[in-house]
């Protein structure tokens, strides 16, 4: 069955989640902690994801912004940077302006020129996602931005993936689902989507029952895989 719809995770897939810490560390007056930014960014992202899984399992859903702030607070303390309220606020402010990866605009443009549906499906709240899309200037290449807020549970719950068929009236086999999270790509594979795992960091495969159909280092080949 031909691909008609390309769905993208947002954070880490289209948008560089390390950009906030990297940019803050490069600003004047931040030399005292600048060497710690890679560790801070990594810890922040890991805790952000872990908190979504725990909340999904326990039914304690909340806005993704709360999860993002909670993950940052943990990471700041782990890196010995807790108590720096100005740094905390700067990092949170920058999260609304995350940079898209370099190949993203041209890749999305090719998909749209080929007549494919394109959308984001993310744990992010609508206002966070709209801010990132606007900042990156990619709104013209997206048909929709779907947030888990509409179903009240984080990925990889199947109710999140159900949103795609409800929005685009397509079969699961018509969907190319793209994520930088191995667990997300695996979950979407189990759901029935055609999948692509964007493994930018060269991480090992997650030990799960499902394996992504495609493993890529960036998004450049997505139009080719989608048949665009």
Domain boundaries, the chain: 5-15+99-226, 19-95
Cα separation of the two ends of the chain: 14
Going by C-alpha positions, the residue among 120, 126, 123 that lies closest to residue 167 is 120
The encoded tokens of residue 209 equal: 């029952």
DSSP class of 170: -
pLDDT mean over 102-119: 98
In this predicted structure, what is the pLDDT of residue 213? 97
Radius of gyration of the chain (CA): 17
On the question of pLDDT at 214 being above 90, the answer is: yes
- Do the first three CATH levels of 5-15+99-226 and 19-95 match, i.e. the same topology? no
Going by C-alpha positions, the residue among 66, 73, 34 that lies closest to residue 52 is 66
On the question of pLDDT at 228 being above 90, the answer is: no
Cβ–Cβ under 8 Å, residues 178 and 108:
no
Cβ–Cβ under 8 Å, residues 8 and 118:
yes
pLDDT mean over 209-225: 98
Please state, as a whole number, how many other Cβ atoms lie within 10 Å of the Cβ of residue 18. 18
DSSP class of 36: G
In this predicted structure, what is the pLDDT of residue 20? 94
Place of tokens 């744990």: 123
Work out the pLDDT band at 104, boundaries 50, 70, 90.
very high
In this predicted structure, what is the pLDDT of residue 1? 85
Beta bridge partners of 144: 119
The superfamily (CATH) of domain 5-15+99-226 is HAD superfamily/HAD-like (3.40.50.1000)
**Can you tell me the distance from the alpha carbon of 167 to that of 146, in angstroms, rounded to the nearest whole number?**
9
- The per-residue pLDDT for range 135-187, each reduced to its tens digit, is 999 999 999 999 999 999 999 999 999 999 999 999 999 999 999 999 999 99
Cis amide bond preceding 88, omega within 30: no
- What rounded mean pLDDT belongs to the chain? 96
**What residues are labeled active site?**
9
Domain 19-95: CATH class, spelled out: mainly alpha
Long-range contacts of 156-159 (CB under 8 A, 24+ apart): 156/183, 156/184, 156/186, 156/187, 156/188, 156/191, 157/56, 158/191
What is the pairing mode between strands 214-216 and 175-179?
A: unpaired
């Amino acid at each position: 069955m031909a691909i008609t719809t390309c769905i993208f995770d947002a954070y880490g897939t289209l948008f560089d989640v390390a950009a906030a810490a990297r940019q803050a560390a490069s600003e004047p007056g931040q030399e005292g902690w600048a060497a710690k930014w890679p560790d801070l960014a990594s810890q922040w992202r890991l805790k952000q994801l872990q908190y979504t899984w725990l909340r999904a399992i326990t039914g304690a859903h909340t806005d993704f912004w709360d999860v993002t702030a909670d993950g940052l607070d943990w990471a700041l303390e782990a890196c010995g940077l807790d108590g720096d309220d100005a740094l905390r606020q700067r990092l949170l402010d920058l999260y609304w302006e995350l940079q898209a990866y370099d190949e993203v605009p041209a890749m999305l443009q090719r998909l749209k020129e080929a007549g494919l549906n394109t959308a984001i499906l993310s744990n992010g709240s609508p206002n966070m996602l709209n801010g990132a899309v606007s900042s990156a200037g990619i709104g013209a290449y997206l048909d929709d931005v779907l947030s888990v807020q509409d179903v009240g549970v984080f990925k990889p719950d199947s109710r999140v993936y159900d949103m795609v068929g409800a929005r685009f009236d397509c079969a699961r086999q018509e969907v190319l689902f793209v994520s930088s999270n191995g667990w997300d790509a695996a979950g979407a594979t189990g759901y029935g989507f055609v999948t692509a795992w964007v493994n930018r960091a060269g991480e090992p495969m997650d030990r799960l029952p499902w394996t992504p159909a495609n493993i890529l280092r960036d998004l450049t080949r997505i139009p080719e895989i989608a048949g665009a």
